[in-house]
């Protein structure tokens, strides 16, 4: 048996709603329920993968955890501290422990800063290092992510997509964080570069004992990098389990459809594909009952009326579906 795992991040009933305003007085006429009551945890040195289609709220969830978007309700407990209750100044200091890598590396780097300046910035803000120490640390960071030192005085536009993403990763690990939200870090990259960055993230995790919340729409990537996986749909987590368990026993009809929809690079494979009908419903006006019932092939009467509970059906395997109640 592996040693007892320590929970690093625990999120309870997190909700992030965006108000819809209308009219002259900006009256709130409704809410887009981007993240609607999600609960999960991330263990130390573990990767929790989050998959879902566009608009399912996975990025908003990642940002809410870091309070880059203020959550509406719920609690985010990081290593015993409720992040949502921290005052702005405390939060600023606390951010050195939790970082983020963004999807588009070009727009998340300042185009007027050279790379060494970008990488030195967090060190200046959060530590008392001298200039010489900072310089040394920057070079060390660059080496860690596989960027030769002569790149230090270049600007972001001079790099390729993969290199830029390495810079984004170097910036995220510069303050020795314990937790990094990776928000689609490889989606903008070509496959040959994607595998380089994925391997780098894994190496760094082992070396620096990092925990990741890895957000992606690509199930194969998530499967490769994650220890546990959560599947999101319309602001809810519909299924969560250990990676192997999840892919071996897909319980939720949405997970089944999602995995069967992936084109497999093997022309001999003829597989039974579940093709979902229709589109994802509008999160401002979600269907009553189970959020997936309109597209579900196994929809029952109760699914239209009542929202299923997020329940543990076997050890560590959570699912929110009436079929398993």
Partner 1 sequence: MDEPILKVKGLCTEFKTVDSRVRAVDGVDLELYPGETLGIVGESGCGKSVTALSIMQLLPKGVGQVVGGEILFDGKDMLKLSQKELLSLHGRDMAMIFQEPMTSLNPVYTIGYQLSEVLRYHMGMNKKDAWQKSIDLLKDVGVSRPEQIVRSYPHELSGGMLQRVMIAMGLSCNPKLLIADEPTTALDVTIQAQILELMGKLKEEYNTAILMITHNMGVVAEVCDRVIVMYAGYVVEMAEVNELFDHPSHPYTQGLLKCIPNINEDREVLDTIEGTVPPPYAMPKGCRFAPRCPYATPECEASKPELYDIGGGHTCRCFRYKEGNPNA
Among 107, 125, 153, 160, binds partner 1 (CB under 8 A): 160
Residues 6+ apart with CB under 8 A from 233: 52, 53, 56, 254, 280, 291, 292
284 touches partner 1 (CB under 8 A): no
Among 23, 80, 88, 263, binds partner 1 (CB under 8 A): 263
Residues of span 164-193 touching partner 1 by CB under 8 A: 190-193
Region binding partner 1 by CB under 8 A among candidate stretches 8-16, 24-32, 109-117, 251-259: 251-259
* Cβ pair 59, 215 in contact under 8 A: yes
HSE (CB half, 13 Å, CA atoms) of 255? 26
Sort 277 into a burial class: Cβ within 10 Å, 0-12 / 13-18 / 19+. Answer: exposed
CA distance 48 to 216: 11
Region binding partner 1 by CB under 8 A among candidate stretches 28-36, 61-69, 74-82, 260-268: 260-268
Among 276, 296, 303, 321, binds partner 1 (CB under 8 A): 276
Could you identify the residue written with the tokens 């009542």?
Answer: 306
272 touches partner 1 (CB under 8 A): no
DSSP character at residue 294: G
Among 223, 245, 256, 324, binds partner 1 (CB under 8 A): 223
Region binding partner 1 by CB under 8 A among candidate stretches 16-24, 133-141, 271-279, 302-310: 271-279
The 31-70 contact track toward partner 1, x by CB under 8 A, reads ----------------------xx----------------
Among 76, 169, 170, 221, binds partner 1 (CB under 8 A): 221
Pairing mode of beta strands 179-183, 211-216: parallel
Least distance from partner 1 to the Cβ atom of residue 55, Å: 9
Cα four-point dihedral sign 54, 58, 64, 70: positive
């Amino acid at each position: 048996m592996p040693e007892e795992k320590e929970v690093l991040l625990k999120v309870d009933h997190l909700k992030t709603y965006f108000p819809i305003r209308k009219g002259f007085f900006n009256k709130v006429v409704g809410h887009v329920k981007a993240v609607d009551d999600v609960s999960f945890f991330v263990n130390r040195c573990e990767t929790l993968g989050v998959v879902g289609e566009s608009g399912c709220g996975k990025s908003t969830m990642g940002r809410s955890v870091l309070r880059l978007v203020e959550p509406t309700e719920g609690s985010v407990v990081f290593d015993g501290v409720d992040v949502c209750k921290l005052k702005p100044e405390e939060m600023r200091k606390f951010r050195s422990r939790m970082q983020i890598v963004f999807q588009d590396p070009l727009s998340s780097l300042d185009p007027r800063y050279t790379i060494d300046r970008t990488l030195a910035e967090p060190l200046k803000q959060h530590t008392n290092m001298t200039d010489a120490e900072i310089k040394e640390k920057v070079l060390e960071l660059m080496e860690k992510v596989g960027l030769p030192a002569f790149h230090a005085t270049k600007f972001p536009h001079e790099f390729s997509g993969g290199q830029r993403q390495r810079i984004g990763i170097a910036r995220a690990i510069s303050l020795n964080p314990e937790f990094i939200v990776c928000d689609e870090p490889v989606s903008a990259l070509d496959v040959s570069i994607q595998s380089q960055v994925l391997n780098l993230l894994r190496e760094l995790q082992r070396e620096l004992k990092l925990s990741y919340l890895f957000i992606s729409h690509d199930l194969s990537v998530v499967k490769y990098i994650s220890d546990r996986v959560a599947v999101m749909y319309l602001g809810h987590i519909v299924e969560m389990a250990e990676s192997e368990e999840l892919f071996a026993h897909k319980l939720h009809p949405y997970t089944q459809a999602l995995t069967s929809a992936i084109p497999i690079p093997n022309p001999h494979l003829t597989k039974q594909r579940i093709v979902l009908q229709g589109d994802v419903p509008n999160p401002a006006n979600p269907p009553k009952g189970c959020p997936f019932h309109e597209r579900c092939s196994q929809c029952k009467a109760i699914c239209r009326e009542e929202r299923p509970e997020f329940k543990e059906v076997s050890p560590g395997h959570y699912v929110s579906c009436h079929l398993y109640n």
